[in-house]
Amino acid sequence: MRFLNDQPTYDLTYSDVFMAPNRSSVGSRMNVDLSSTDGLATPLPIVVANMTAISGRRMAETVARRGGIAVLPQDIPVPFVCRSIRRVKDADTRFDTPITVDPQMTVGQAMNLLQKRSHGVVLVVDDDRRPLGLVSPDEADGIDRFAQVGEVMTSDMTTVGPDATSDDVFTSLADHHQKVAVSVDPDGRLIGIMTSKGALRTAIYPPAVDPSGQLMIGTAVGINGDVAGRATALLEAGSDLLVMDTAHGHQDRMIEALGIARKVRDEFEARTGRRILIVAGNIVTRRGTLDLLEAGADIIKVGVGPGAMCTTRMQTGVGRPQFSAVLECADAAAEAGGSIWADGGVRHPRDVALALAAGAGSVMIGSWFAGTHESTGEMKVDPQGRQYKESFGMASARAVRHRTRSRSAFDRARAALFEEGISSSKMYLDPQHPGVEDLLDFITSGVRSACTYAGARNLVEFHEKAVVGVQSPSGYEEGRPVASSWA
């Protein structure tokens, strides 16, 4: 990446910069390869942040099917994390995991479960997981909420085999004027479901899979407590990478924890032959990048204070404008044979593109994904009828209380006095992008187009060819669309 004019002597945020177009021979945005350059080589350079209000099993499997990867948080007990890892690994790589209920469940209970998925149906199955029918809001409309789903479900379903192509599914649904296709194995047992839009996405997004062909998932490990025990358990359960996570990553305790994690990882790799990457952060300087890479990390997480839920900069004055942090740390990592993730500060597809242009191997997204069906929060409705989910920062009093639940009441109360994050924020569902897949469509279309403007066919070329300029606040405002007439 180079600057259009002289690089300024002050640091820059994503809003401070723009990308100038180059002469391009890339004929279509679909000709762009978006594989990450961070060593994981996921088909999509998107990582779901390890935030309790966002990243869980549903989010992990959905994002992995579309080529990205999610990281489960560090404050979830090991048995629950291991169970989530196994369920993601057991999930089909093409067909969505549906919400399943037995015929005796009430309509009211079934409709409450609908908000956990974007596909809008509940599948009724028997004890052997053979599909009996499905229920959507259409079948439930006007029905007593205490009626059983077996009484109101429709058994008129489009069923396909496990090897049905995306084109087959799309055509079958169009021919039968139905919303979802149900995939079953030769014995009639449920595999998953696929919508028409899901069929299109399956043809566009290769899944992120491990060497065994199972969906990928990452897990976070704190730098305190039993680092070796947690890391060992997560790797044995099938985690594809370990994220050593703390707000201030450039500290001695992180260096020590990285040494422990690296030892566990090396022993695991020697025994199993599996390659496991270690991510560490967060930092915002060249020195921090080099120190953590030298301590054993493969990928460095860059970002202090740019996240929507983070109050660190306002409370402490510590942090750095994210574009400059990514640019400097990516350059340092490349010199040392490592990579970085740009963590935080993205609010538009342009920001993701600019982070990748600056040299990020992948971009980590948190709060932007909080207001989706797949995030872990409970769906709520405000007085105006708008759906939202609550999100909170991982250094907030709320998160600290959860993370220190095993300590004494006094120690927990004392720790909660010192917070650097918002404990409760309403993240509204965007009616245009209510699911994380909708947001991935929105983001990747922008990034693909940015690559074509730069004349790049992949993200390595994108970083090499991108030309970035500095703009005034009014220049940024000029680029914002106008939703209604200004007259």
Residue 410's CB is within 10 A of a number of other CB atoms, namely: 8
As a whole number of angstroms, the distance between CA 69 and CA 98 comes to 20
Average pLDDT, the chain: 92
Residue 90's CB is within 10 A of a number of other CB atoms, namely: 12
- Amino acid at the residue 77: P
Catalytic residue among 82, 310, 329, 451: 310
* Spatial CA neighbour of 231 closest among 195, 202, 199, 264: 264
Predicted local confidence at residue 400, as pLDDT: 56
pLDDT digits (tens, 9 = 90+) for 236-273: 999 999 999 999 999 999 999 999 999 999 999 999 99
Full-model pTM: 0.91
pLDDT digits (tens, 9 = 90+) for 126-177: 999 999 999 988 888 888 889 999 999 999 999 999 999 999 999 999 999 9
Confidence at 413, pLDDT banded by 50, 70, 90: confident
Least confident of 278-292, 398-412, 423-437: 398-412
pLDDT digits (tens, 9 = 90+) for 286-307: 999 999 999 999 999 999 988 8
Instruction: Identify the DSSP state of 146.
Output: T
- Cross-sheet strand order for the sheet of 131-135: 99-101, 122-125, 131-135
In the residue annotation, 310 being an active-site residue is answered as yes
- Amino acid at the residue 451: C
The three-state (H, E, C) secondary structure of 86-133, written as one string: HHHHHCCCCCECCEEECCCCEHHHHHHHHHHCCCCCEEEECCCCCEEE
- Helix (H), strand (E) at residue 270: helix 252-272
